[in-house]
Amino acid sequence: MGDAIRLEGVTKTFGDMIAVDNLDLSIPTGGLYGFIGPNGAGKTTTIRMLMSILFPDSGTLQVLGHGSALAAKDKIGYLPEERGVYKNMRVGAYLKFIARLKGVAENTIEDRIQTLLGRVELPDVAGKNCEDLSKGMQQKIQFAAAIINEPQLLILDEPFSGLDPVSMRLLRDQIVAEHNRGATILFSTHVMPQAEEICDHVIMIHRGTKVIDAPIQAILGQYDTGTVIIEPLDVAADTSDLAKIRGVEAVHARDGHVELHLAEGTDQARVMRRVITTLPVARMELSRPRLEDIFVRLVAGGSDEDADELISELNSPAKAPAAV
Amino acid sequence: MKKVFWIALREFIATVATKAFVIGLLFLPVIVGVTLFAINLMNDDDYRAVGKIAILDPTGRVTAEARQVLSSNAMEARLASQLRETDSLLAASADLVESLDIGPEFTLMQLSADASIDDEKQYLLLPPEAGGLLALVEIHADAIEAESTESDFGSYDLYVAPNIDDRESDAVEFMLEDAIVNLRFETYGLERETIDRLTRISGEQSITVTETEERETFGALNVMLPAAFMFLLLIGIMGGGQGLMTSTIEEKSSRVVEVLLSAVSPLELMAGKLFGFMSVALVGMIIYLAAGLFALTSFSLFGLIDPMLIVYLFIFFVIAFFTVGSVMMAIGAAVNELREAQSLMMPVTILIMMPWFLWLPISRDPNSALSVSVSFIPPINTFGMLLRLSSTEPPPTWQVWLSIGIGLLFVYVSIWCAARIFRIGLLLTGKPPNFKTLIRWIRAG
């Protein structure tokens, strides 16, 4: 199976600002990739280049086997970050218009519209004006428009922004459904739990450069062996004895749990066995970073050295999870 | 091409199927009709010039003759006669004038020979009810009889009240001139009626001979016809261009544009919008043109129009629309809201308005150096050539096709530049660009 998307050495500048810097990227057909990074990292610019809305200053780009998305627009679904609808147009007419632009067969359009409106749980809005819908409803219509042509490649730029938790869940299910149908999906998001939950691969860019390109399980599997998290069975239990365990440098009580910070070279398995004999626990695990932690550390971590250290840490071979 | 069609269709339906379009289409004829009706309504048929006129008359004859002129309804007869002489079309108006008693109601006062004009002038400042004068006249001593056979006749000095109506002023002058001329005839032993008849040529006919027919000449229509064609062209371009700009701004501000760009290329989007709004403008133009042709047919003047003129109207419309429309769309793409577009629109508006200034010189002398030059300078060549084509002396065919060729070349350049601005501007927000930035976009695009 080939790549649905391939970027090699792509650079894009706006005046003096380098938006995307020598970016290499490949997304295999059928993949479900999350594209994350802080604001201004270059995600939208990259996506716009993928859609041939912008063009790179240098580098090559392939989308669904074509040198430009212009040749494959009918096979691509796109939900831009800055999206809108024709306010004075009826929902059905709008979807029909987009379907026609996307080359959907004329005799299937009406059925397709009804199916999609049902999927986004807005079955009765076809006759309503777009401006009469709430922002969240409009967003669902925009998503329906993005998949109206049953795209081979679906690119979603911040699809969850502005949605309530219920709509967010619905959209997540629809993204997964499209993936199950066989579509390759690339979506950018700031909602890290969603990315963790549905992506099978994550690409993170920072200041126009790719900093992470790894399967989600590999990222989440990189345990921080220096910290053990304990949730005591009795939340009011005295945890002061935990500090006396050899190798434990510090004990921090957090919301409902306790973190044991171990000295370098400490045998975590031994510490964990000692914990059990010291205190009844409801849960105990080695700490592992969430995507959000990585994101925050990268963006708010301060110095470039910190970021570089984190990047190198994340790109090193994953350590094996410790057994409890 | 199909996508261009769908975009054009959407633009067309979204514009034509609105109340605003229907109202806009009817607005112009309605406003013209209402204005004419209002003018007619305000026109006081019973108007009569009234007032006191003091005359210092060293000849001692003019005041009496002026009274005679006023009393004999001679003014109505003279006015009617003048109308008939001006144009046979106005004969009906002349009959109307004659049938109405619209002569002025002046009270003439002859001042004594030693009266001071400067003192009398004070009465011009008083209201009529306080004895104020409408006019004060000083007849020259030689107004009726010249001092010698070689010298010119004298005339009169007229002093009027500050608030005098132009109709009152005209009536005073008419009365005085009629009286003075009558007295001159009398003095020199001539019979005015005979001389008037001798010097009047009436019932003359001017026939315009064309290759296919002979018809009555309508001098006014020779000037009005080019104006009508220019108006049709202007109204189509202004309406369509403005619509294109507004729609582009709306698509940009409502963020729908990026959705569209995910389905079509910027050039396809631009082409679709251009065709859509061109169709809208064509609908308006065809309706006005049909109304105009219907009016001409009603007056049996359809023969005035060469059918090729209508063909050329459409050709030049397409050229002008693509030129102006692409520029307007580029402006729409470059700005964030309508307000920001004003400064960028100024040069386009001036260019579009230029034909109004050139209408009379071109339609009166369609083969002058100015007319020929204008018909080859884009983007106003479309207007210039159409004015020449609809004039009394149409240009040679090779000039017409050269102008079309130049126009098409300029369309290509306009669309090429506009497409670059359009592509870059559509996705940019923030401070609107100035002309320098637009040129940079064209070069970088």
pLDDT tens digits, B198-217: 888 877 777 777 666 676 66
Tell me: ipTM over 0.85.
no
**Mean pLDDT for chain A?**
84
Q: What is the pLDDT of residues B92-106, one digit of tens each?
A: 555 555 555 557 888
A233 or B426, greater pLDDT: A233
Instruction: Evaluate if residue B161 carries a pLDDT over 50.
Output: yes
**Dihedral over alpha carbons A177, A179, A181, A183 (to 10 degrees):** 140
Q: Which of B14, B254, B427 sits opposite A84 (nearest CB)?
A: B254
Instruction: Evaluate if residue B266 carries a pLDDT over 90.
Output: no
Q: Where are the domains of chain B?
A: 49-204, 218-444
Q: What is the CATH class of B49-204?
A: alpha beta
Strands annotated E in B21-112:
50-56, 105-110
Q: What is the rounded distance in angstroms from the CA atom of residue B364 to the CA atom of residue B223?
A: 7
B44 or A257, greater pLDDT: A257
Q: How confident is the model at residue B89 (pLDDT cuts 50, 70, 90)?
A: very low
The A-side interface with B (CB below 8 A) comprises 48, 51-54, 70, 73-74, 76, 78, 80, 82-89, 97-98, 100-103, 142, 145
Instruction: Evaluate if residue B269 carries a pLDDT over 50.
Output: yes
Inspect the interface and report whether the beta carbons of B427 and A48 lie closer than 8 Å: yes
Inspect the interface and report whether the beta carbons of B256 and A70 lie closer than 8 Å: no
Q: What is the pLDDT of residues B329-354, one digit of tens each?
A: 989 888 888 888 888 888 888 888 88
Question: What pLDDT was estimated at residue B8?
Answer: 93
User: Is A292 buried (19+), middle (13-18) or exposed (0-12) by CB count in 10 A?
Assistant: middle
Instruction: Evaluate if residue A303 carries a pLDDT over 60.
Output: no
Partners of A78 on chain B (C-beta within 8 Å) are: 259, 262
Q: What is the pLDDT of residues A127-161, one digit of tens each?
A: 888 888 888 888 899 999 999 999 999 999 888 88
Q: What is the rounded distance in angstroms from the CA atom of residue B445 to the CA atom of residue B443?
A: 6
Alpha helices, H only, B217-265: 219-253, 257-261
Partners of B14 on chain A (C-beta within 8 Å) are: 86, 88-89
Partners of B257 on chain A (C-beta within 8 Å) are: 84
Instruction: Evaluate if residue B401 carries a pLDDT over 90.
Output: yes
Angle, helices B219-253 vs B307-334, to 10°: value is 30
Instruction: Evaluate if residue B115 carries a pLDDT over 70.
Output: yes
**Residue entry with tokens 């205190």:** A279
Interface test with B, best of A100, A129, A147, A186 (most B CBs within 10 A): A100
Question: What pLDDT was estimated at residue B218?
Answer: 67
Inspect the interface and report whether the beta carbons of A82 and B6 lie closer than 8 Å: no
Instruction: Evaluate if residue A317 carries a pLDDT over 70.
Output: no
Instruction: Evaluate if residue A96 carries a pLDDT over 90.
Output: yes
User: Is B8 buried (19+), middle (13-18) or exposed (0-12) by CB count in 10 A?
Assistant: buried
Instruction: Evaluate if residue B16 carries a pLDDT over 90.
Output: no
Inspect the interface and report whether the beta carbons of B259 and A80 lie closer than 8 Å: yes
Mean pLDDT of B287-304: 77
User: Is B152 buried (19+), middle (13-18) or exposed (0-12) by CB count in 10 A?
Assistant: exposed
Inspect the interface and report whether the beta carbons of A142 and B254 lie closer than 8 Å: no
Q: What is the pLDDT of residues B44-80, one digit of tens each?
A: 666 677 889 999 999 888 998 888 888 766 666 666 6
CB pairs under 8 A between A and B: 60
Interface test with B, best of A86, A87, A129, A142 (most B CBs within 10 A): A86
Inspect the interface and report whether the beta carbons of A102 and B263 lie closer than 8 Å: yes
Inspect the interface and report whether the beta carbons of A53 and B258 lie closer than 8 Å: yes
Angle, helices A109-119 vs A135-146, to 10°: value is 130
3-class state of residue B330 by DSSP: helix
Q: What is the rounded distance in angstroms from the CA atom of residue B174 to the CA atom of residue B129?
A: 25
Q: What is the rounded distance in angstroms from the CA atom of residue A99 to the CA atom of residue A76?
A: 12
